Amino acid sequence: MENSIIERYKQFPEWLRWVLFFPISFAASIAMSFLVFIGGRYFIGDTIINILHSIAFQYFFLCFIFFTVPRFKFKILLGLIVLRSIILFMLVIQPILNLIGANFPLDFEFFKGTIGEILVLISSISLFGLLRKDYLK
């Protein structure tokens, strides 16, 4: 489709696409993950849909980043995945910090967040591999 939204977006000057890629990706991923949340809320329990909501947001965000950033698509995606890995590392290190005297609560919310972050990271890495495989053909 020559007249698709992506093709029209690619006709913008590169500097404008660099300015717009983050706000467009963020807003579009919020909208898409909201639809997943609303749709899934009636079919799945609240705990599971909260985890799936964060996965959907990250997945859509990376997809929109990939299609809206003018250059360095894979480097930017990889950088965002590494950033997400650092967040996961901070969550995983909390119990270790508790052993040396810190006071972080290790309750159900902590474990739900950790499981969500692990699943988000797995889905992000799989999306990166999928896009890399399909895009570089």
pLDDT in tens, the chain (137 residues): 456 877 888 888 889 989 988 899 899 988 888 888 787 777 776 667 777 777 888 888 888 888 889 888 888 888 888 888 888 887 777 777 666 766 766 666 667 777 777 888 888 888 888 877 777 65
C-alpha 60, offset from chain centre: 6
Q: Which two tokens stand for residue 10?
A: 């690619």
Is there a contact between 60 and 28 (Cβ–Cβ < 8 Å)? Answer: yes
Helices then strands, counting H and E runs in the chain, come out as: 5, 0
